[in-house]
Structure 1
Amino acid sequence: MTFTNAQEIEHLRTLRDGGWVKVSFTPGARPGQGTATVTELTALGRVAMRFIPPE
């Protein structure tokens, strides 16, 4: 999935840093700008999804 919303991109940085997803960001873009493409939901991310309800 590809995201362009600045707030969603910042959330994806947090999820990436936590090891929940693998994501690539537009090279050279400032934080909150450009695009983010999620390429994988990690095993840790799958486990977390079982226990954390969606907002």
Structure 2
Amino acid sequence: MASVIDHPDYFLLDADLTDVDRALRDRVRAFGQNTIEPIINGFWYRHSRFESWYPSSS
């Protein structure tokens, strides 16, 4: 699935990241694209909160 969000590096911060930092960024980005992006519009249109579907980690 193609993302609706482009990820430009306007401030050239990618060069400052370590390999571990890049891997974490990529995992978080993939979670957002694969888990959040496909369902978020339904929550928006129903005026419901995302927290009601996704339990908090606390």
TM-score, scaled to structure 1: 0.29
Using CA pairs under 8 Å that are at least 6 residues apart, name the structure with larger relative contact order, 1 or 2.
Answer: 1
Greater share of strand residues, 1 or 2? Answer: 1
TM-score, scaled to structure 2: 0.28
* Higher alpha-carbon Rg: 2
